[in-house]
């Protein structure tokens, strides 16, 4: 068989098999078995519980960390300066409507974006307090890089 045809048939066959496996016979009830094995069955409820627990734990940690940082560094962050920075970003991106469209694409509102900016400032304050790096340390640990440009003769076969 022609190599070109093989390259087309193989992905098409794989796609058909995968799409066929994605039928509407998926379990919908939490008690339905998702996977059966000799070691035991995995139910939809088990999978959903695991996914939910990880997301809840992650989000809870983020909320707690933000509250701690806000409590500790809230007086060092100037909300008005953040608002001014956001206003300049709005102008930079073509106005409020266009900026809101960009935020919507990211799944954010203007208030959520401003809160994110405050959180970033809190994190910067924490890092500035805990990490102390001198200019000398930066200079000593910076690697110098250079590249050499060479000219290669063109070969008639290269074209």
The candidate with the shortest Cα–Cα distance to 113, out of 78, 89, 77, 93, is 89
Number of domains in the chain: 2
**pLDDT beneath 70: ranges in the chain:** 1-30, 145, 158-159
Q: Are residues 81 and 98 in the same domain?
A: yes
Q: Are residues 63 and 105 in the same domain?
A: no
Task: Please check whether residue 127 is in contact with residue 69, taking contact to mean a CB–CB distance below 8 angstroms.
Answer: no
- Would you say residue 140 lies in a domain? no
Q: Is 122 exposed, middle or buried (0-12, 13-18, 19+ CB in 10 A)?
A: buried
Q: Are residues 89 and 54 in the same domain?
A: no
Supply the range of the domain harboring residue 92: 77-131
Q: Could you give phi then psi for residue 38, rounded to 5 degrees?
A: -65, -30
DSSP class per residue in 112-137:
HHHHHHHHHHHHHHHHHHH----HHH
Q: Are residues 63 and 102 in the same domain?
A: no
pLDDT (0 to 100) of residue 27: 47
Q: Are residues 38 and 69 in the same domain?
A: yes
Task: Please check whether residue 121 is in contact with residue 77, taking contact to mean a CB–CB distance below 8 angstroms.
Answer: yes
Q: Are residues 88 and 44 in the same domain?
A: no
Start-end of H helices in the chain? 3-21, 44-73, 79-92, 96-105, 110-130, 135-141
Q: Are residues 69 and 86 in the same domain?
A: no
pLDDT (0 to 100) of residue 30: 64
pTM: 0.53
- Would you say residue 94 lies in a domain? yes
- Would you say residue 7 lies in a domain? no
Task: Please check whether residue 21 is in contact with residue 4, taking contact to mean a CB–CB distance below 8 angstroms.
Answer: no
- Would you say residue 82 lies in a domain? yes
pLDDT tens digit sequence for 98-111: 999 999 999 999 99
Q: Are residues 49 and 92 in the same domain?
A: no
């Amino acid at each position: 068989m022609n190599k070109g045809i093989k390259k087309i048939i193989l992905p098409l066959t794989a796609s058909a098999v995968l799409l066929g496996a994605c039928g509407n016979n998926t379990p919908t009830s939490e008690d339905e078995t998702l996977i059966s094995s000799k070691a035991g069955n995995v139910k939809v409820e088990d999978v959903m519980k695991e996914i939910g627990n990880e997301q809840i734990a992650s989000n809870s940690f983020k909320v707690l960390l933000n509250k701690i940082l806000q409590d500790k560094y809230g007086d060092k962050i100037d909300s008005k300066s953040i608002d001014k920075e956001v206003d300049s970003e709005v102008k930079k991106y073509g106005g409020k409507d266009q900026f809101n469209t960009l935020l919507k694409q990211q799944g954010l509102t203007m208030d959520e974006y401003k809160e994110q900016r405050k959180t970033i400032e809190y994190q910067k304050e924490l890092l500035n307090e805990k990490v102390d790096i001198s200019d000398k340390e930066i200079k000593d640990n910076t690697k110098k890089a250079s590249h050499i440009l060479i000219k290669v003769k063109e070969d008639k076969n290269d074209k």
